[in-house]
């Protein structure tokens, strides 16, 4: 694949040569599964491109897409690409997001990004129009009711005139509904990423990717949507909400479609291992899987071991558990492993290697004085490649702050050992207790190992103790059994078990552990626990109790 092509030009080639081949198997909950051929995909995209023309959207203008899982979301994204606009997928308002914050963030995004249009669905039309009104921008609101199929005239489509350095799409931070930091990626950056990543994972048209990941996150958008469509690899897509309610559906889909590749965040491994029932695995065969790739969070050995043990009898091979370090600012992958070795670092033996840098990636680890650190020393990870962001869209000052000596400052902490990268956490989340660095990911992982704690639903953060002159660790954990929360003695007993387990297996003596009910913790739109928001919520609860 030449990096001199635009995404629309690649779609034209698929349309002419692979018209009847299935590109996407769309799983729709209680509805019949829907195969989407390249012909159907591009005809539907051309229908949305025609809507953008009617709305007066110009080439290289931003189109914000807020649609639920389904064929209209596929049509809208590729329709913007074919029109030559810049698509940006945002999450719809869901029960896990604060409505007030969501509305503020959406209005702020519109004010900074200046989209020419918002493409949405009937149930969200009023929210979209209200956000446009608050922002003061003249963005069109396009409501899609059902697919509209148009035979594309490629010679007149704006996407066919795109240059390799033109912005192809925007990815927004997974920590918010999008706010102001839109990661602008060029066509060239995307194709350079695919050219480097495909051989790193041995990708071929014989693969089948299976995914529940949302398209407003880079792992879902690039690895499980853009890459397979452009590289002619079939992809099976299911709703993240269907997956959360019934995680066995992912394994059932892998078995039914003979899936070979699947990307998962670390929390998904214990979640699937503990939530899937034996009766939902009857007839399931995972032997086709070449790789489950652990990505987007620090990778933990315990999560892999639990997953491997749970599904070994269903054909899962231990060597199918891989890792990667990725970020939207590098389009997607920075590193990739073909195995997941553990290394006994000074802060414990909890982390797995994220593998080696891709062939087009330079990776360094810097100390506080921006000095490059040596083997095994923990510092900030900085990255340089030819698939980097063009910049944060309309935020030149943030772009300038994000780089040091031509390398992107990731904000992540980690170290290198024998050429492989180990990620330990986020710099902003680091807790410093008596001059000692404490990584909240490690404490959360340990707390999640305690029976009775809802794995993946733990937040560890630091609060400053003026009397001691340093931070103190707080762990807030959701109980699996709601009855525990209502029983003060049972809740305190579970908290004691968390204290003992974390203190025994780390260098931190934890004093403050609070057991809370399900859905107490605040998560980001990508499903990660927001430690900062949880810290604020916990502090507010402490203030109310002291009044």
* CATH classification at residue 471: 3.30.300.30
Within a domain: 132: no
Within a domain: 277: no
Within a domain: 502: yes
Per-block mean pLDDT, blocks of 10 residues, the chain (547 long): 75 95 94 94 98 97 97 98 97 78 87 96 95 92 97 96 96 56 95 97 97 94 98 97 95 98 91 94 98 87 91 96 95 90 54 92 95 93 97 93 94 91 86 78 91 92 75 93 91 95 87 93 81 90 78
Domain count for the chain, please give it: 1
- The reported pLDDT for the residue numbered 432 is 77
> Taking all residues of the chain, what is their mean pLDDT, rounded to a whole number?
91
Tell me phi and psi for residue 293, to 5 degrees.
-105, 115
| Closest C-alpha to 286, from 326, 247, 259, 306 | 259
Token couple for 365:
């680890």
Would you say 380 and 365 are in contact if contact means Cβ atoms under 8 Å apart? yes
Within a domain: 112: no
- The reported pLDDT for the residue numbered 478 is 96
Within a domain: 143: no
- The reported pLDDT for the residue numbered 285 is 98
- The reported pLDDT for the residue numbered 547 is 67
Half-sphere exposure of 454 (CA within 13 A, CB side): 20
- The reported pLDDT for the residue numbered 333 is 98
- The reported pLDDT for the residue numbered 176 is 40
- The reported pLDDT for the residue numbered 190 is 97
Distance between CA atoms of 358 and 327, rounded to whole angstroms?
13
For 334-361, how does the pLDDT look when each residue is reduced to its tens digit (9 = 90+)? 999 977 666 645 455 467 899 999 999 9
Within a domain: 470: yes
Q: Which domain holds residue 532?
A: 430-546
Separation in Å, CA 347 to CA 302, 343, 476? 16, 10, 22
Within a domain: 509: yes
């Amino acid at each position: 694949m030449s990096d001199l092509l635009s995404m629309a030009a690649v779609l034209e080639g698929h349309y002419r040569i692979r018209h009847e081949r299935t590109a996407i198997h769309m799983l729709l909950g209680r509805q019949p599964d829907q195969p989407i051929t390249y012909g159907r995909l591009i005809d539907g995209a051309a229908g949305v491109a025609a809507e953008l023309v009617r709305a007066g959207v110009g080439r290289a203008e931003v189109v914000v897409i807020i649609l639920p899982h389904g064929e209209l979301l596929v049509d809208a994204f590729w329709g913007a690409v074919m029109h030559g606009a810049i698509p940006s997928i945002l999450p719809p308002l869901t029960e896990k997001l604060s409505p007030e914050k969501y509305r503020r963030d959406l209005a702020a995004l519109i004010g900074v990004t200046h989209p020419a249009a918002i493409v949405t669905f009937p149930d969200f039309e009023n929210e979209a129009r209200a956000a446009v009104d608050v922002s003061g921008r003249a963005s069109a609101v396009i409501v899609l009711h059902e697919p509209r199929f148009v035979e594309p005239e490629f010679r007149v489509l704006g996407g066919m005139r795109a240059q390799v350095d033109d912005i192809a799409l925007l990815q927004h931070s997974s920590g918010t509904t999008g706010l102001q930091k839109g990661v602008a990626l060029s066509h060239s950056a995307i194709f350079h990423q695919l050219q480097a990543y495909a051989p790193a994972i041995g990708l071929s048209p014989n693969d089948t990717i299976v995914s529940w990941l949302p398209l407003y996150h880079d792992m879902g958008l690039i690895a499980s949507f853009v890459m397979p469509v452009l590289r002619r690899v079939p992809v099976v897509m299911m709703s993240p909400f269907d997956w959360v309610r019934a995680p066995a559906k992912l394994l059932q889909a892998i078995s039914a479609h003979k899936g070979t590749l699947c990307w998962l965040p670390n929390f998904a491994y214990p979640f699937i291992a503990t939530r899937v029932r034996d009766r939902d695995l009857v007839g399931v065969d995972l032997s086709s899987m070449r790789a489950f790739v652990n990505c987007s969070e620090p990778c933990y050995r315990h999560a892999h071991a639990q997953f491997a043990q749970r599904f070994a009898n269903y054909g899962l091979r231990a060597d199918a558990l891989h890792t990667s370090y990725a970020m939207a600012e590098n389009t997607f992958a920075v590193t990739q492993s073909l195995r997941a070795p553990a290394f006994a670092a000074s802060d414990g033996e909890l982390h797995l290697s994220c593998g080696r840098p891709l062939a087009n990636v330079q990776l360094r680890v810097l100390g506080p004085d921006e000095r490059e650190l040596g083997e095994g020393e923990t510092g900030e990870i900085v990255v340089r490649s030819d698939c980097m962001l063009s910049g944060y869209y309309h935020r030149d000052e943030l772009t300038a702050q994000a780089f040091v000596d031509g390398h992107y400052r990731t904000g992540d902490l980690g170290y290198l050992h024998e050429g492989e990268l180990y990620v330990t956490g986020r710099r902003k989340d680091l807790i410093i207790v008596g001059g000692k660095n404490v990584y909240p990911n490690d404490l959360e992982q340990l707390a999640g190992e305690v029976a009775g704690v809802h794995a993946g639903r733990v937040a560890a953060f630091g609060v400053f103790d003026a009397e001691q002159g340093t931070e103190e660790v707080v762990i807030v954990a959701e109980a699996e059994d709601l009855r525990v929360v209502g029983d003060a003695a049972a809740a305190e007993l579970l908290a004691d078990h968390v204290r003992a387990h974390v203190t025994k297996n780390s260098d931190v003596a934890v004093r403050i552990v609070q057991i809370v009910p399900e859905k107490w913790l605040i998560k980001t739109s990508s499903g990660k626990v927001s430690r900062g928001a949880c810290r604020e919520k916990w502090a507010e609860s402490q203030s109310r109790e002291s009044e």
